[in-house]
A and B are shown apart, each in its own frame.
Chain A
Amino acid sequence: MMVSTSSTSGRTNSTGERTSSTNRAFEYAPAPESRSIVDIKPSYGLFINGEFVDGTGTSFKTINPASEEVLAEISEASEADVDLAVKAARRAYTRVWSKLSGAERAKYLYRIARIIQERGRELAVLESIDNGKPIKESRDVDIPIVAAHFFYYAGWADKLSHAGYGTTPLGVAGQVIPWNFPLLMLAWKIAPALACGNTVVLKPAETTPLTALLFAEICQQADLPPGVVNIVTGAGDTGRALVSHPDVDKVAFTGSTDVGRHIAKAVAGSRKKVTLELGGKAANIVFDDAALDQAVEGIVNGIFFNQGHVCCAGSRLLVQESVADEVMEKLKRRMSTLRVGDPLDKNTDIGAINSAEQLAKIRELSDIGEAEGSERWSPACELPTTGFWFPPTVFTGVSQAHRIAREEIFGPVLSVLTFRTPAEAVEKANNTPFGLSAGVWTEKGSRILWMANQLRAGVVWANTFNKFDPTSPFGGYKESGYGREGGRHGLEAYLKVESQR
């Protein structure tokens, strides 16, 4: 059962009365995307060697976080299952994939890109059902970038000798991805791996396995040789079995810094190549000369895009003191127009929190924010009664010592700090063990470039935020991990860069 969204957008209460005449926004009738386009099976096995097989482990359920409806029963890959998948990948690598020319590999990847485009709506709906993200995001952001990513890396497969990292693949890649952008993270992992001539065993997150399993079906449709792509579903134990498997040559992980740390320790002493894309606590810095209305849009996009389940989210707003009041007023007005509710409704801005566990974490850190003395504000916002929801929230009066300024909340929660000088903004922005992304808003070009130089972060968005592209390298400094995904740089993670003279 899907929840209704018609009264959850914050400007009306459940009886339809306006709660604020100054924050008027248009009323929208519900406009749900049909879910009839997807066909969710009652249960799914593992995708090993080109076939769906029953796992030898137990199973778990994946649910729709917007309704708590059980969507399907999913196999939990045991260590033995992971071993089978790695063996299949090794076989496919040795016998087939490493013997194919780059041009042939390219054509498989182009095929996959095209099928993703053809089945784009189906993938988008399925992603929104399993993940809870608004359909306008899965439809307009996630899935188009997935297709573009395969299309981009397809073209590299026969041009590796021009990229500067050699042409020797690593072998079998073990890849573990998070639940916030399930299919997009799959694409970031699988497309460059295959283009470079590796085969893969990928583990999707336990709360969002469905689009990865549909992707397995797409591999079948594309006649991808069996074993080139293997999908093993499961939770932490499955992931551990995969990254510590002795016949895995490459480990790629996107997720929390804590798990990344454990992986980095687990592979110590091996010859496995590792790339890690981990947490963040990005500063989004607004100067007094910024185009404030645009900046406010960027702030909203920075922290409320994908419910704030974004490692590069602009979760710390640093606003210059002289415009702080004005920015906060504009921001609150804008937040009052955000629509929270049914992910499949085309008007929805903020969907469901991905899991009960994540919701509990967001609530806990937000409560700590209040307890530590920050002031909490959310627009009037009626949330659905079933499913996992959290209103867009902003904290003011936050100091650098507060946990909500230091820890990744991974939810729609913004912490606001102020600064007076550019140097102070840089100092505060860099005062974190993370270094994934940052934002700068100012109309002064030289200041943008100066700030971009000073910020210790892998991606700097100036007068924009949360932009992604297959050609653009993405990844962090410091404890946000190492290695880059996307662009020419993304190839390095999947090629053997010889010697260390």
Chain B
Amino acid sequence: MTRLDVRKTYKLYIGGEFPRSESGRSYIVNDAKGNLMANAAQASRKDARDAVTAARRAFPGWSSKTAYNRAQVVYRIAEVLEGRRDQFVAELRAAEGVTEAKARTYVDAAIDRLVWYAGWADKIGQVVGNANPVAGPYFNLSTPEPSGVVAVVAPRGPLLGLISVVAPLIVTGNTVVVIASEAFPLTAITLGEVMATSDLPGGVVNVLTGSVAEIAPWLASHMDVNGLDLTGVADSDLATSLEAAGAENLKRILRPPLAPIDWLEEPDLSRMTTFLETKTVWHPIGL
């Protein structure tokens, strides 16, 4: 007799916990062959707000951790993901219908991306900061600081794109509300399980699944969100309206890319620097 599977309920990941959508809604997610994989939670405006609240609450603690500590936490996510490599390969194969080799390439790249970004935590300040030689007897130093809470529309796809947009934000001390790829929400929630067991404080990353067109406008117009990454917004009218909504409190905005991004390539710094502020401190020099 074959054993009956224990299926997983895919919920949201907010504040370190896995709540259902308060709306009680879900939507069907099929695999590449069109068979039912699961019902994913369909997040609502209230879920989006709860996620922002959780991200804001997590920000002071996360942003004031030492860079070394943040580096280790992000590295820890890579470690835990490495341990669950086979699970993610299987999920990618099911969701995307790709070969095992291809799925493995993307999972490995995602793990390596986390390792790459982990190392930036205590170096980005040295690369983008400056001691400024002002024309007077003053100490003058510019250092980067995280912008705050950043809302992200993750690019299409289950894993590598998601990690490539989230890792640069958290390693620099921002906290994140990310809307997972609408078509591939399940792996995002499994990734939430990885983050929940990687010493990442609850609320640093919050994952919403559901309709981008429904949820993103609430995040774009939310006055307690400081940044908006529109990488995954494919509809250019929606991208324009989100950018305009984000202007209300002068959010830092990363527009959708002009051409599709090859996530396998090594990143540059712009995903970190777009959501960094430069603080310049002056002090007189004298006896």
Residues of chain A touching chain B, judged by Cβ–Cβ distance below 8 Å, are 148, 164, 257, 260-261, 264-265, 268-269, 271, 276, 278, 433, 448, 452-453, 457-464, 467, 469, 471-475, 477-482, 484, 487-489, 497-501
Residues of B in contact, count (CB < 8 Å): 49
For A145, the closest partner residue in chain B by CB is: B135
Complex Cα distance, B281 from A464, in Å, reads 10
For chain B residues 249-285, which have a beta carbon within 8 Å of chain A? 249-250, 252, 254-255, 257-258, 261-263, 265-268, 270-271, 277-284
Complex Cα distance, B134 from A474, in Å, reads 13
For residue B261, which residues in chain A have a CB less than 8 angstroms away from its CB?
Answer: 499-501
For residue A452, which residues in chain B have a CB less than 8 angstroms away from its CB?
Answer: 279, 281
Complex Cα distance, B279 from A452, in Å, reads 9
B244 within 8 A of A: yes
For A439, the closest partner residue in chain B by CB is: B282
Docked-complex contact A478 and B132, CB < 8 angstroms: no
For A475, the closest partner residue in chain B by CB is: B278
For residue B32, which residues in chain A have a CB less than 8 angstroms away from its CB?
Answer: none
| Contact for B280 among A458, A480, A501, CB less than 8 A | A458
- CB proximity of B24 to chain A, nearest CB, Å: 34
| Contact for B278 among A271, A478, A489, CB less than 8 A | A489
For B147, the closest partner residue in chain A by CB is: A477
For B130, the closest partner residue in chain A by CB is: A488
Docked-complex contact A464 and B284, CB < 8 angstroms: yes
Complex Cα distance, B268 from A133, in Å, reads 45
- CB proximity of B68 to chain A, nearest CB, Å: 16
Docked-complex contact A487 and B283, CB < 8 angstroms: no
| Contact for A500 among B236, B254, B283, CB less than 8 A | B254
Docked-complex contact A473 and B255, CB < 8 angstroms: no
Docked-complex contact B250 and A472, CB < 8 angstroms: no
Add 15 more A-B contacts to A448-B283, A499-B270, A501-B267 (CB < 8 A). A164-B127, A164-B128, A264-B246, A268-B243, A469-B132, A469-B140, A471-B140, A472-B142, A473-B280, A484-B278, A489-B278, A500-B254, A500-B270, A501-B261, A501-B262
For chain B residues 189-233, which have a beta carbon within 8 Å of chain A? 226, 231
| Contact for B240 among A148, A269, A448, A482, CB less than 8 A | A269
- CB proximity of B228 to chain A, nearest CB, Å: 11
6 nearest A-B pairs in the assembled complex, by CB-CB distance: A269-B240, A264-B247, A268-B243, A469-B134, A268-B244, A265-B247
Supposing A459-B282, A473-B278 touch, asked if A268 and B240 sit within 8 A by C-beta, the answer is: yes
For residue A261, which residues in chain B have a CB less than 8 angstroms away from its CB?
Answer: 247-248, 250
For residue B136, which residues in chain A have a CB less than 8 angstroms away from its CB?
Answer: 467, 469
- CB proximity of A171 to chain B, nearest CB, Å: 15
| Contact for B244 among A265, A481, A487, CB less than 8 A | A265
B138 within 8 A of A: yes
Most buried by A among B271, B278, B282, B284: B282
Complex Cα distance, B130 from A172, in Å, reads 28
For residue A461, which residues in chain B have a CB less than 8 angstroms away from its CB?
Answer: 282
CB-defined A-B contacts under 8 Å, sample of 28: A164-B127, A164-B128, A264-B243, A264-B246, A264-B247, A268-B243, A269-B236, A269-B239, A269-B243, A271-B258, A448-B283, A452-B281, A453-B64, A458-B279, A471-B135, A472-B282, A473-B142, A478-B250, A489-B142, A497-B268, A499-B261, A499-B268, A500-B231, A500-B257, A500-B261, A500-B270, A501-B164, A501-B270
B133 within 8 A of A: yes
Supposing A463-B284, A464-B282, A501-B164 touch, asked if A479 and B249 sit within 8 A by C-beta, the answer is: yes
Complex Cα distance, B262 from A501, in Å, reads 7
For residue B262, which residues in chain A have a CB less than 8 angstroms away from its CB?
Answer: 501
For residue B243, which residues in chain A have a CB less than 8 angstroms away from its CB?
Answer: 264, 268-269
For residue B267, which residues in chain A have a CB less than 8 angstroms away from its CB?
Answer: 501
| Contact for A462 among B132, B239, B277, B282, CB less than 8 A | B282
Docked-complex contact B130 and A501, CB < 8 angstroms: no
For A480, the closest partner residue in chain B by CB is: B250
Docked-complex contact A471 and B279, CB < 8 angstroms: no
Complex Cα distance, B246 from A473, in Å, reads 25
For A262, the closest partner residue in chain B by CB is: B247
Supposing A458-B277, A459-B282 touch, asked if A271 and B132 sit within 8 A by C-beta, the answer is: no
